[in-house]
Amino acid sequence: MTERRAILSGSTFEEQIGYARAVVDGDWVHVSGTTGFDYTTMTISEDVVEQAEQCLRNVGAALAEAGCTFADVVRVRYLLPDRADFEPCWPVLRRCFGPVRPAATMLVCGLADPRMKIEIEVYARRPA
């Protein structure tokens, strides 16, 4: 039987909605769509680039708890309400994903809170 374990970040959203920041299922790690909230203070910057940086800190923490790094990411999805906000985030995203080159998709869509300007979801495979 494969290991299945939930990873929680302490975000109030996880409790209110009923999900985990990430789920480890055997070798696979599924990180939920992660926003730019600082989950310890539940605050969020108004700047999309700062939100992207915080998203990646949040994703990185979930990956680390699962025994992974950004080098293990095989798939990433970027969700933004405003397509014009995507390009300013590229340098931040390239810092984490440029050396890895995961499969990627950017979607323009509404997010759960109007303060959210970017959400990032990743799939990773744990090293053997």
pLDDT in tens, 77-118: 999 999 999 999 999 999 999 999 999 999 999 999 999 999
Q: Are strands 103-108 and 73-80 parallel, antiparallel or unpaired?
A: parallel
Type of residue numbered 91: P
Type of residue numbered 14: E
Predicted confidence band of residue 22 (pLDDT cuts 50, 70, 90): very high
Separation of alpha carbons 60 and 73, rounded Å: 10
Separation of alpha carbons 84 and 81, rounded Å: 9
Residue 6, both tokens:
């939930």
Q: Name the phi and psi angles at 92, rounded to 5.
A: -65, -45
Question: How high does pLDDT run on average in the chain?
Answer: 95
State the DSSP H helix or E strand holding residue 73, giving kind and residue range, or none if neither.
Answer: strand 73-80
Neighbours of 30 (CB within 10 A): 17
Give me the count of residues in the chain. Answer: 128
The pLDDT of residue 57 is 97
Give the residue carrying structure tokens 């800190």. Answer: 57
The pLDDT of residue 1 is 61
